[in-house]
């Protein structure tokens, strides 16, 4: 196990190695690296944060490079590092330090690439639980996450309800809608139709960046609301209306192209496909003869659901239905809808609108008056 300490934030990054992991598919991975960050008060109440689709374990980060949820989690923050010790693991299948397509097969010595086995959200959570145990943590005060991170948090409470004190689910439901899967299908097609794809065994120095950029552009449309796009761009042009088909005429085009290009510099195409497939396949009712309410019966713990208006992927009404199902199953469920123009990405911004809900959930789970 390797550890690096950041003195300014009292955060650590490191890697846990699991000797063997049996996946849902039956495939076995050996020497499974799991990158993590831990931050906050040593021996404070342990909180697990699960990251979203293209996120990583750098939740808090450093002063020089703040993590992606630093606005929520810091000393004196909504998740107070003076009280809690926060753990975040890079998911397996990703490309930020945990086992995935870019890691080497210990048997062959070559990178797995598209030979890496299929990964489910349940696999991610099983690995996180095993890695936590390696770090000496056997139970947690809370688990929270948004989007794919929210899906992981849902699996945490259904797989290990006896290990979890409570959960905060942001912008996530029990399964991805057909609408969301449709956009993921377009993203996959963009990557696999790139001439450089080569069945996932593309050259390391010449990856399918055009397809990956287009996939990211497609995703960006679903992460933000139409209202935000309209407010931000106002049909502004760059150089007039444009006279050729390949000319970037409008600011919204320029924005999407920029986001696509930036993404290709930090993410791997194979990893993106594996994580999209994990998101598509996630379903709390999958491979169960029980109804969802019956499967949730062991989850007798507080669960707080936070939705965001304009979320195209996980609409508030669907999150509310899930919260009601948890409540009927016996959980102490609470539901909140945050008014925002950011849509799905609301869980990554405007913390002043919803951070106190998280704070209250950690201090006084499932706030009375908002209970389902």
Does the annotation count 147 as an active-site position?
A: yes
| Residue 345, marked binder | yes
Q: What angle do CA 257, 259, 261 make, to 5 degrees?
A: 70
Do you know the residue count of the chain? 372
Q: Which residues pair with 50 in a beta bridge?
A: 145
Marked catalytic residue, from 51, 74, 282, 344: 344
Marked catalytic residue, from 80, 194, 268, 311: 311
- Measure the CA–CA gap between 326 and 1, rounded to whole angstroms: 38
Q: Which residues pair with 143 in a beta bridge?
A: 48, 167
Other C-beta atoms closer than 10 Å to the C-beta of 330 total 14
Marked catalytic residue, from 11, 147, 271, 307: 147
Does the annotation count 234 as an active-site position?
A: no
Closest CA to 284 of 329, 335, 316: 329
How do beta strands 332-338 and 302-308 pair? parallel
Q: Residues at the annotated binding site for substrate?
A: 216, 345
Q: Which residues are catalytic?
A: 147, 311, 344
């Amino acid at each position: 196990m390797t550890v690096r300490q950041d003195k300014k934030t009292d955060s650590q990054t490191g890697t846990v190695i699991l000797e063997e992991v049996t996946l849902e598919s039956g495939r076995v991975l050996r020497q499974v690296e799991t990158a993590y960050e831990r931050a906050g008060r040593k021996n404070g109440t342990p909180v697990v944060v699960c990251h979203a689709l293209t996120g990583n374990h750098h939740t808090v980060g450093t002063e020089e490079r703040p993590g992606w949820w630093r606005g929520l989690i810091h000393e004196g923050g909504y998740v107070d590092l003076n009280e809690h010790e926060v753990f975040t693991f890079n998911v397996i299948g990703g490309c930020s330090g945990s086992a995935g397509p870019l890691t080497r097969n210990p048997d062959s010595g070559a990178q797995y690439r598209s030979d890496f086995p299929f990964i489910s959200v349940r696999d991610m959570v099983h690995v996180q639980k095993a890695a936590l145990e390696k770090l000496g943590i056997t139970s947690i005060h809370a688990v929270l996450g948004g989007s794919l991170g929210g899906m992981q948090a849902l699996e945490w409470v259904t797989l290990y309800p006896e290990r979890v004190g409570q959960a905060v689910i942001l912008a996530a439901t029990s399964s991805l809608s057909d609408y969301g899967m449709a956009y993921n299908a377009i993203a996959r097609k963009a990557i696999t139709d790139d001439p450089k794809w080569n069945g996932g065994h593309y050259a390391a120095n010449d990856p399918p960046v055009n397809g990956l950029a287009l996939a990211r552009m497609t995703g960006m449309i679903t992460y933000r609301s139409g209202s935000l796009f309209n407010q931000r761009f106002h049909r502004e042009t760059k150089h007039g209306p444009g006279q050729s088909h390949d000319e970037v005429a409008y600011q919204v085009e320029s924005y999407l192209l920029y986001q696509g290009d930036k993404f290709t510099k930090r993410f791997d195409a194979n990893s993106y496909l594996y994580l999209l497939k994990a998101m598509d396949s996630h379903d709390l009712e999958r491979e169960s003869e029980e109804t969802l309410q019956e499967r949730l019966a062991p989850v007798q713990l507080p669960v707080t659901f936070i939705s965001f208006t304009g979320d195209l992927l996980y609409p508030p009404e669907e999150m509310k239905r899930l919260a009601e199902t948890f409540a009927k199953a016996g959980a102490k469920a609470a539901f909140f809808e945050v008014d925002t123009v950011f849509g799905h990405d609301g869980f990554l911004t405007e913390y002043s609108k919803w951070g106190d809900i998280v704070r209250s959930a950690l201090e006084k789970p499932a706030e009375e008056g908002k209970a389902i």
